[in-house]
Structure 1
Amino acid sequence: DFGLAKAGPTGDRTHVSTQVMGTQGYAAPEYVATGRLSARSDVYSYGVVLLELLTGRRALDKSRAGAEQSLAEWAKPYLDDKRKLFRIMDTKLEGQYPQKAAFTVATLALQCLNPEPRSRPKMSEVVQELEKLQDLKSSAKNSRKGHKDIPNPIKPPLRQHHSPMNLTPSASPLSSRKQSPLKSR
């Protein structure tokens, strides 16, 4: 599904028209609507992959309630609010992630999922942002070797789940870790 646009447009052309064949949940809305494929269509799809990494959920899960079936549509309201983001983070991560990095990835995913293709970042810009996070991780790791005063990432507070939001572990092929010992009350 990914990289289809690379084999497509040549010369002065900016897109290629094809029969819509992408995997549901990953295909950009303009591709589904028109069959026009561009490099920005791949960026949209990559935004969905970033959401899968953050949430541990599948791009499309028909076993969930209607509004929660599409990961991209369900997650969007949480991505630009630091206080809400932890609600959709994969519970298998058990809070062991830098909150700033999670918010950066969430913001990047939201930009990739922009409904307007021209407003999405270029893939090279996405890579550049992710490399910055990797560089931050490396420099933080090196600086911790000699400093014990740098705190570990903060775990989100335990909370009771009385909302319709289903936070049971997903069957996503992206998350192969054991089920979290944390359970809903």
Structure 2
Amino acid sequence: MRITGCCAPEVTDTRKVSQASDVYSFGVLLLELVSGRPPQWTTDDGEVILLVNWIQTLLRNEWTAEVIDMVLLKYENEEEAMVEVLQIALNCVTNVPERRPRMTEVVKLLEEISGIEPSDESRLEDRLEQPNIESRLEDLLEDLLPTLTPQTA
């Protein structure tokens, strides 16, 4: 099943996936978390809006808080973290695959935001003992979700 709005442009055009296209899709996921919107939606007049294009259009001229989910803005002292996650997401969804960060870079940036001590990827013995990138991302998302999603009382 293919979900429009989540795939990198080069995947839609060529149907070839890569690490860069995975980074793009992860960027869309981060945009969903920060904005509280789905990857695409249809307006009342039938126009299909892609989340990536909508956010890029809003931010093209100047910063607007409209991008961030209003529920998230209720949390004090969290706007800076949300803006940082938004910036990471925007870097992930750039149209040029070669300009997207590698997933290891994304993980390190998210670790910094969440307060998790960054992993030292340069030491082989540490790499063997470290959890794989998927489990690190799961841990990061678990830590970030309480920050980026409303708490039910």
TM-score (norm 2): 0.67
- The structure that has the greater radius of gyration is 1
Structure showing the higher helix proportion among its residues:
2
| C-alpha distance 122-29 of structure 1, shift in aligned 2 (>3 A) | same
Deviation at 1:114, TM superposition (A): 0.7
Tell me if the contact between 2:73 and 2:79 (Cα under 8 Å) persists in the aligned partners. no
Structure 2: where are the runs of 5+ without partners?
117-147
CA distance in 1, matches of 2:61, 2:95: 19
CA distance in 2, matches of 1:116, 1:58: 23
| C-alpha distance 128-80 of structure 1, shift in aligned 2 (>3 A) | farther
Deviation at 1:75, TM superposition (A): 0.6
Aligned to 2:70: 91
Deviation at 1:83, TM superposition (A): 3.7
SS at match of 1:24: coil
Tell me if the contact between 2:21 and 2:97 (Cα under 8 Å) persists in the aligned partners. yes
2:97 is the alignment partner of 1:114: no
Q: How does 1:85-164 map to 2 (within 5 A)?
A: 86-96=65-75, 97-135=77-115
Structure 1: where are the runs of 5+ without partners?
1-20, 137-173, 179-185
Letter in 1 for 2:28: V
CA distance in 1, matches of 2:105, 2:44: 33
2:26 is the alignment partner of 1:51: no
Aligned residues, how many? 120
Percent identity of paired positions between Structure 1 and Structure 2? 34
> What are the superposed Cα offsets for residues 93-132 of structure 1, whole Å, 9 maximum, x if unpaired?
2431522212211111111001010100001110100000
Letter in 2 for 1:42: D
